Chain A
Amino acid sequence: MAKIIVITSGKGGVGKTTTSASFATGLALRGHKTVVIDFDIGLRNLDLILGCERRVVYDFVNVVQGEATLHQALIKDKNCDNLFILAASQTKDKEALTQEGVGLVIEDLSKDFDYIVCDSPAGIERGAFLALYFADEAIVVTNPEVSSVRDSDRILGLLASKSKRAVEGQDKINARLLITRYNPARVESGEMLSITDIEDILRIPVVGVIPESTDVLQASNTGTPAISLKGTDVSEAYCDVVSRFLGENKPLRFTQADKKGIFKRIFGGAR
């Protein structure tokens, strides 16, 4: 039986898709057979970030509506044998997914995969609800700002009350916090919330902190998940997330401002 993980946040643009791609790749690189599903019907982002957009023939909606088999729709990642992608449809409308249909697809995937990673759309409506409904675990993606934290809090409320596990009275969904686009310098200057501020409000364990970095844009432009940009802070940070998720103990990194950096900026610095 696969473990189902939803990558969710409430707010858009916080890094869910970036995280889904890197996290799923990381699990696959560790030898776990992993599928990542794009629930953002109408936008289609995940396939771009994973660089497989030209290979999408059938998508998630086609499978849910019985127009294609899972076998036809699953796209094998170009770099990693253990990773498969189920793309979202750009053309169909959001109502195309039904709870029952999604349930059947997930049940089918559960037989073959170790992990099913669900990339949630923004909002707290149907798409986001379906992405979290079947989850065993949740990674709640938050940026260090008040509106993002508040939306994450709402999502945690939904996980605790509206998910399958909650409705059926099973064990609670294990929810963990991933703080992304963290900019230590702006945190220290008080422009952004700190890790402790966010933990104080949400009270769930932190699975990682991903620094704000232009490498992410670079990665998505070249159709490579950020975790595969060897040697970058973002890649290292995502590797740590995967390790912690799998139970290893790793201290947080990239959370302190580069003191020299600030110094240089304040005094103009010698370039």
Chain B
Amino acid sequence: MIRNNLKLNHGTFDYYVLQITPGIKLEDIDNKFLHFKAMCEENKNIVLDFSGEFDFANLSNLLLDINDTARVHGLIIHSIMENKCIKVHGILGIPVINLPNTTKIPHIYNRTLIVDEPVRSGIKIENDGDIVVTTFVSDNAEIIASGNIHIYGEARGRIIAGISGNKQSRIFMQSFNPELISISGIYKTLENELPQNIMHKTVMISLDDKDRLLLTPLTK
């Protein structure tokens, strides 16, 4: 049974989990490997998930057989999933891993994070996507997004948009007063040289065609 397909490192490697229950026949496994191979050419890594009661002697034999079968199909037994029945570090040189800890949370792009609490000094908010802050951001706080950032209260602190290189990202602030702004790695610190026509005004920040930070007041 191809139970699920766990993505690691957002799509660079796929691992397939093969669930094995006591009494499973080697020919069934052989059939499944055949099926795997047909389905996906680039990914050859299999994670075994033993569920149920196996005695250790049987398990090693079974594992040897599965390993041989896999090799026939050009597949690799990458590891064994840790669970109730399997708690040792490795069996026959195959590592036992705890998948929930080794997998990263699946990457979801463009998900908007809405923050309703004030972002106080020393707090960092990060999101792969947009961030909307409905209250204020304090000095010495950080807002970091791969997408756009909207701040509807006073915006102090370090406001960093397009962190993974998106030059189209923009920052919107209801009340402009940040320590630092950045879009796609291009940044500007704002100490005392703030022009009065934008201080505490509603401002949009974007990159122009020469990769310069552009501050546009949105109110007259």
Contact = CB atoms under 8 A, between A and B. Distances in A.
A157 B136 contact: no
Nearest to B136: A203
Interface stretch (A12-20, A82-90, A148-156): A148-156
Contacts of A201: 138-139, 156
Q: Is the interface of A mostly helix, strand, loop or mixed?
A: helix
A106 interface: no
Interface string B118-151: 1111110000000000011011100000000000
Contacts of B123: 157, 161
Contacts of B191: none
Interface residues of B, number: 14
Q: Which range contains the number of A residues in contact with the other chain?
A: 10 to 19
**Chain B CB within 10 Å, residue with most, of A124, A150, A161, A200:** A150
B117 A160 contact: yes
A129 to B, nearest CB: 13
B191 to A, nearest CB: 14
Contacts of B117: 160-161
Contacts of A150: 121, 138-140
B151 to A, nearest CB: 14
B136 A153 contact: no
Contacts of A124: 122
Contacts of B156: 201
Contact of A153 (B135, B139, B154): B139
Nearest to B121: A153
Contacts of B120: 153-154, 156-157, 160
A161 B117 CA distance: 10
Contacts of A161: 117, 123
Nearest to B117: A160
Nearest to A166: B117
Contacts of A151: 121
B24 to A, nearest CB: 44
B119 to A, nearest CB: 8
Interface in B165-208: none
A156 B117 CA distance: 11
Contact of B122 (A154, A200, A203): A154
Interface in A166-214: 200-201, 203
Nearest to B139: A150
A161 B116 CA distance: 13
A157 B122 CA distance: 8
Contacts of B140: 150, 153-154
A154 B121 contact: yes
B115 to A, nearest CB: 11
Nearest to B123: A157
A138 B119 CA distance: 18
Nearest to A156: B120
Interface string B150-162: 0000101000000
A264 to B, nearest CB: 35
A216 to B, nearest CB: 27
* Most chain B beta carbons < 10 A, residue from A124, A150, A153, A203: A153
A160 B121 contact: no
Nearest to B140: A150
Interface string A139-159: 000000000001101101100
A98 B156 CA distance: 36
Contacts of B138: 150, 153, 201
Across the A-B interface, give the 9 residue pairs with the lowest CB-CB distance, nearest first. Answer: A157-B120, A153-B121, A154-B122, A154-B121, A153-B120, A153-B138, A157-B123, A156-B120, A150-B121
Interface of A: 124, 150-151, 153-154, 156-157, 160-161, 200-201, 203
8 contacts: A150-B138, A150-B139, A150-B140, A153-B121, A153-B138, A153-B140, A156-B120, A201-B156
Given A124-B122, A157-B120, 7 more contacts: A150-B121, A150-B140, A153-B140, A154-B122, A154-B140, A157-B118, A201-B139
